[in-house]
Each structure stands twice: as C-alpha cells, then as structure tokens.
Amino acid sequence: MMKIVWNGAELSCGKDSVRLDGRELALSRMERKLLLYLARHPDTVLSRERLLREVWEYELPGATRTVDTHVKNLRARLGGLGDFIVTVRGVGYRLDTGAGRADGHRRVRRPAAASGRKTAS
C-alpha cells in the first residue's frame, strides 16, 4: 500500500482500495489505476498519450479525452486534494506535491468563471 501525505491529509492507495484519512473513497478501477500511476510519478508532467498507454494499456489516436474525463472525475472524488492534480496545458497532467517550495505548499491559480457580463472600457 502506498501512502501519500499532502497538507496533513493522508491518502493510502492499494490495488483494490483508496483511503483518505482512513475513509474509503468510492473510486472506479480506472480512477484507482490513474491515481496510483500519478502517485508513482510525483511532480512529473505526464502526457495524455502516456497516461492512455500506461494506465489504460492501449494507444488510440484521439482517445485522450478519456483521460481528461477520468481526471475530472478523480478530482471531484478527491475533494480539495483533487486540486493537486494539475493540468499542464497542451500536454497532460502532473501530481503536484509541493516539493522544492520553501513553504511546502503549492500555489495554483484557477481562472475565474466567465460571468457573461461585459465590463465598461
């Protein structure tokens, strides 16, 4: 079982289960495999194609949307820890552990949702 600690929360990943602070998370088999793969390669940018090849074990041109959908679902199930799965625009994803930062915390700025309102210029 692999144990990861982020911001005081402990994530335990096994082949058949994932626990967050001792509470079992309801993840699909592919979500577990994806999380384990990301956890085994922390702070490494992983292309969508590589994730598809290594986690799903197939190569299908144009099928990378599958990866995006699973990452979206995994982030939602992880709650606040899902923010540690960072999108690398145009490439893929990276599990950000905050390593190498003086304060041990990562800083991610998400774009504000478009309100549809125009501002005066």
Strands (E), the chain: 2-6, 9-13, 18-20, 23-24, 46-47, 85-88, 92-95
CB 43 within 8 A of CB 95: yes
- Average pLDDT across the chain, whole number: 79
**Is a pLDDT exceeding 90 seen at residue 120?**
no
Report the pLDDT value the prediction gives residue 107, as an integer from 0 to 100. 40
The full set of domain ranges for the chain reads 27-95
7 band by pLDDT with thresholds 50, 70 and 90 = low
**Is a pLDDT exceeding 90 seen at residue 44?**
yes
Report the pLDDT value the prediction gives residue 121, as an integer from 0 to 100. 41
pLDDT in tens, 69-104: 999 999 999 888 889 999 999 999 999 987 644 444
**Is a pLDDT exceeding 80 seen at residue 109?**
no
CB 76 within 8 A of CB 82: yes
> 27-95: what fold?
Arc Repressor Mutant, subunit A (1.10.10)
Task: Record the pTM.
Answer: 0.74
- Per-residue pLDDT averaged across 26-55, rounded? 92
CB 25 within 8 A of CB 18: yes
